[in-house]
Structure 1
Amino acid sequence: MVSAVSRIVVPFRGTTSGVEELTWGQREIWTAMVTQQSWLPIFFIEELAPGTTVEDVTARLRRQMERYDSMRTRLAFGPDGEPRQVVTQAGEITLEVFEAGDADPAGVAAEVQQRYRSDDYDFVRDWPARTAVVLCRGTPTHLVSVYCHLVMDAHARAAMLRGLGDSDATPNEAMRPTQLARWEHGDVARKLSAASMAYWERQLREIPARRFAPSTDPHAPRYWEAVFRSRALHLALQIIAPRAAGSTAPLLAVFAVALARVTGSNPVVAQVVVSNRFHEHLANVFAPVNQTGLWVLDVAGMTVTEAVGRARRRAMSTYKNAYYDPRDRADLIARLSWERGEELDLTCFFNDRRMSPATDDLPTAADVTAASATTTFTWRTRTDQPSERLFVHVEDATDDIYLSAWTDTRYLAPGDLEAVLREMEAVAIAAALDPAEPTRAPIPQPEHL
């Protein structure tokens, strides 16, 4: 393991401080952290522009800490165990400096990033940013940043970088997280949460309670992660949904058809991660505002192309009803589970993290068929650290679809997860070659509620 050659103490002094409940977005992330026993770090490696100095990086880190309340936020826990956000006005943070020497500086940056992600995180004492600069023979080449997900999401970081690019820029005038937490106690917010819960309740009363049957062949370690890359899937979506290939709904539809074919579970029910920044008051908030929306799709008795159209319509309702108090959702699920006399399984998740725009070029069927030869599938991680029963992430990639997916092997065997991912590609290719390709999904059976 490479060692830091120096540690620079960076003092900072902001203009705000305060203590408040978590925002709804923070509470959603906190629940995931407790479930997955992880601080869910989000991480980045940047290549630094020629001429960047260590002093430049230090100054940027100081501005980041001073301008954004989230960067000065830690947690405090009351007697009831509930976390509260604590914004501290001033303090010190450390910037580590690493020298790559004869090693590849990008490799050194990756090693540092992995160490930051793996180290324990203290929510009460640690600042939410871990930052390092990597040198190559004294010249800064890479910046490593690892953040606690509780204080930012990818869209918030993008806004931060835009602001930090201008040393004379004024601080973000958006609502601060402590202000947002207070706003979410008001009448307008409560009505939004109630409307979302009414939608969730309608859907939850109609769906089968279970998604996955317990496995008869459990594995150890229990949780497996797969990585799947497919240019053919990327190209096929452009033919199936030429005006919306880069959006989430067409890929969700293909996922639903594949999952229904492999598991026999239909309708497909998933919690879809939604960026709530289309709400005007959340557009520029520097804090996590993602929450999950409930997405239900019956894909039986139609073509894949028709399933894509239905998925897009259903997605609009999902996005609209993904802003709510997570405590309201927990109460709703508990009440309906009690009424039905069985647990409601909502442990299938889909998270489209792509931020790059899709291309407008329309491929040919021959392009799609040829690209299938480049598809790759690998198992990356096996662990006993908890995850959900199925969690599919869509990552940013230039010319392909890049999926990372976790399975709880007690409910979805590794072979079934691989089959779902490969079937997504097969479904999309077949529909690109023939718009009349049927979903071949099982017809839902009535269930006594």
Structure 2
Amino acid sequence: MTPVAAFRGTRTAEAPLTWGQQGIWKIIDVMAPNDAFLNVRAVVPVPQRAAGTVDSVAAAIGALISRHESLRTRIVVTGGEPRQVVVDAGECPLALIEATAETAADVAEQAMERLRHHPFDYAGELPIRVTLVVADGQVRFVVLILTHVAVDWYALTLLGRELRVALLRGEITGPVGIQPVDLAATEHSEAGQQRSARARDHWRRQFDRFPASVFTEAGPPATPRYRRAELTSPALLAAARIIAARHSATSSTVLLAAAGALIGARTGQEVCGMLTIVNNRFQPGHRDIMAPTNQLGVITLDRRGAATFGELVTAVWREALQCFRHAYYDQHVLDAFLADGGHAHGEKIEPYCCFNDMRAGDGELRDTATADQLRAALQETELTWPETFDEFNWQFMLSVSDAPGALSLSLSTDSRYLPPVEQQRFLLDLEDLVVRSAIDDVRLGDPGAHHNDPGAHHGAPDAHHVALDGRAS
């Protein structure tokens, strides 16, 4: 008999989507049925001091679903409009996988990678799937797969934390964040619409500042057309923190400024536009919401007037603050502006470039690495090619995530505009620019001059070369 996690909340409810849910749903609608790449996932180890029985884990899962309405919400399209429908009670099936104590961790990771590719029936099932990895009669790991319209990556961190507490204590105490149905009521009020109008006006001002396009076609696309390169760099983490502290900015701003400098150098555009995914949890009352809060913001990266990279970081930080302020809006209001202004091209939005810092928070820790230590750390840089895909909704997507003792930059591009050799060069040049600027503020002009050979790491005599298929050579 398949085990289940029974849940019971306090109400049923129905409401429009929140603004954060609207943005995710728009991508789902465009990409369906190939939208499973959006699924949010995690492997949560069961604490050693927890009971670890299937029944105790089922009770903890049930408590989480009872506590957070987004975990028992289906998305139903009525009259062409998606609505969130909250159920008050039910059961969540739990899949079981047997393993040994030695293999349980690997089995859990493999299960997560396999299961994350399965699309959800948003109207017909709960937005959460749970798999328990069992060894010697005890649950060792909990594999969570959730829809992105239910949670974002920060919410997933909160969920994992609460699950561990429930496993250890048998209950979850403390206040719960605002529920999405209640948030939607606030957002769709008259005050919410006024805020959306101000955001729309900001977008209009930004679109008037930069060219409509960023990249030009470089040649015929590769097959598959899109691919993702990933650079993992301890040196980049330390260098970004050093520059951020020096200029009272954030490491995310440093990376965004570096991307803007390199795009400008490649295209010859002194001013370019970029969309960036903004975590709206800084909005009052939003910190602990178990729902997606990210929305697209638009930022103008203007290199004019910045003689050094440090000056560019300061300028981008000022622009970023305005971007954050106006990245909270009703998606329908923004879509109407984009369509009326001729900025909506098919299923894509100019300027096609997107920056996404997926870290829960760097803490903006100061780093005291010396110049010699930064140069030595460059030898630990790794560049791989994790995946390719036939469809993607960006020409250029630069994502930032945590890696143990390092920073991970993931660059997904359309090979028609940025072929693999240029994709690799971009990541290495970005690392080079930030590291050199941490040592001594770099004058802008040719940020990537140290990478004439796109396979070489920083021109070192014993440079580690990376082939385009990700194999060391």
Q: One fold, TM greater than 0.5?
A: yes
Q: Is the 8 A contact 2:238 2:367 kept in 1?
A: no
Q: Which amino acid aligns with 2:73?
A: T
Q: Determine the C-alpha separation between the residues in 2 that align with 1:344 and 1:67.
A: 37
Per the alignment, in what secondary structure is the counterpart of residue 242 of structure 2? helix
Pairing partner for 1:221 from 214, 220, 224: 224
Per the alignment, in what secondary structure is the counterpart of residue 149 of structure 1? coil
Match of residue 322 from structure 2: 317
Residues paired across the two proteins, number: 434
Structure number with higher relative contact order (C-alpha < 8 Å, ≥ 6 residues apart): 1
Q: Determine the C-alpha separation between the residues in 1 that align with 2:116 and 2:124.
A: 17
Match of residue 112 from structure 1: 111
Per the alignment, in what secondary structure is the counterpart of residue 403 of structure 2? coil
Match of residue 348 from structure 1: 353
Match of residue 241 from structure 1: 244
Q: Which amino acid aligns with 1:70?
A: S
Deviation at 1:174, TM superposition (A): 3.5
Q: How does 1:65-84 map to 2 (within 5 A)?
A: 65-80=65-80, 82-84=81-83
Q: Determine the C-alpha separation between the residues in 1 that align with 2:237 and 2:177.
A: 36
2:61 counterpart of 1:61: yes
Deviation at 1:170, TM superposition (A): 4.6
Match of residue 400 from structure 1: 406
Q: Is the 8 A contact 1:257 1:427 kept in 2?
A: no
Q: Determine the C-alpha separation between the residues in 2 that align with 1:159 and 1:113.
A: 19
Q: Which amino acid aligns with 1:176?
A: Q
Q: Determine the C-alpha separation between the residues in 2 that align with 1:141 and 1:222.
A: 40
Q: Is the 8 A contact 1:16 1:69 kept in 2?
A: no
Per the alignment, in what secondary structure is the counterpart of residue 50 of structure 1? coil
1:173–1:105 CA distance, 2 compared to 1 (3 A): closer
Match of residue 453 from structure 2: none
1:184–1:58 CA distance, 2 compared to 1 (3 A): same
2:105 counterpart of 1:99: no
Pairing partner for 2:425 from 419, 422, 426: 419
Q: Deviations for 1:298-324, whole angstroms, at most 9, x for unmatched residues?
A: 124521111111111111111111000
Match of residue 88 from structure 1: 87
1:127–1:439 CA distance, 2 compared to 1 (3 A): farther
Match of residue 23 from structure 2: 28
Q: Is the 8 A contact 1:258 1:421 kept in 2?
A: no
1:29–1:344 CA distance, 2 compared to 1 (3 A): closer
Q: Is the 8 A contact 2:353 2:396 kept in 1?
A: yes
Q: Determine the C-alpha separation between the residues in 2 that align with 1:48 and 1:439.
A: 52
Q: Determine the C-alpha separation between the residues in 2 that align with 1:409 and 1:116.
A: 28
Per the alignment, in what secondary structure is the counterpart of residue 337 of structure 1? coil
Per the alignment, in what secondary structure is the counterpart of residue 340 of structure 2? helix
1:231–1:162 CA distance, 2 compared to 1 (3 A): closer
2:131 counterpart of 1:132: yes
2:153 counterpart of 1:154: yes
Q: Determine the C-alpha separation between the residues in 2 that align with 1:266 and 1:56.
A: 59
2:297 counterpart of 1:299: no
Deviation at 1:391, TM superposition (A): 1.0
Superposed CA RMSD: 2.4
- Most deviating of 207-216 and 279-288: 279-288
- TM-score between both structures, scaled by the size of structure 2: 0.86
Q: Determine the C-alpha separation between the residues in 2 that align with 1:339 and 1:130.
A: 35
Q: Is the 8 A contact 2:211 2:272 kept in 1?
A: no
Q: Determine the C-alpha separation between the residues in 1 that align with 2:380 and 2:267.
A: 26
Q: Which amino acid aligns with 1:132?
A: T
Q: Deviations for 1:231-286, whole angstroms, at most 9, x for unmatched residues?
A: 22222223323255753111111121122223434423211111111111423322
1:18–1:238 CA distance, 2 compared to 1 (3 A): closer
1:29–1:13 CA distance, 2 compared to 1 (3 A): same
Q: Is the 8 A contact 2:249 2:313 kept in 1?
A: no
Per the alignment, in what secondary structure is the counterpart of residue 149 of structure 2? helix
Deviation at 1:439, TM superposition (A): 4.3
Unaligned runs of 5+ in 2: 448-473
Q: Is the 8 A contact 1:211 1:346 kept in 2?
A: yes
Q: Which amino acid aligns with 1:88?
A: V
Match of residue 373 from structure 1: 379
Deviation at 1:359, TM superposition (A): 3.4
Q: Determine the C-alpha separation between the residues in 1 that align with 2:176 and 2:405.
A: 36
Per the alignment, in what secondary structure is the counterpart of residue 411 of structure 2? strand
Pairing partner for 2:12 from 8, 14, 17: 17
Q: Determine the C-alpha separation between the residues in 2 that align with 1:76 and 1:30.
A: 11
1:397–1:107 CA distance, 2 compared to 1 (3 A): same
- TM-score between both structures, scaled by the size of structure 1: 0.90
Match of residue 214 from structure 2: 211
2:254 counterpart of 1:250: yes
Pairing partner for 1:48 from 29, 39, 46: 46
Deviation at 1:353, TM superposition (A): 1.2
Pairing partner for 1:38 from 35, 40, 45: 35
Q: Determine the C-alpha separation between the residues in 1 that align with 2:121 and 2:161.
A: 29
1:171–1:51 CA distance, 2 compared to 1 (3 A): closer
Q: Is the 8 A contact 2:218 2:416 kept in 1?
A: yes
Per the alignment, in what secondary structure is the counterpart of residue 368 of structure 1? helix
Q: Deviations for 1:19-40, whole angstroms, at most 9, x for unmatched residues?
A: 2111110000111223343141
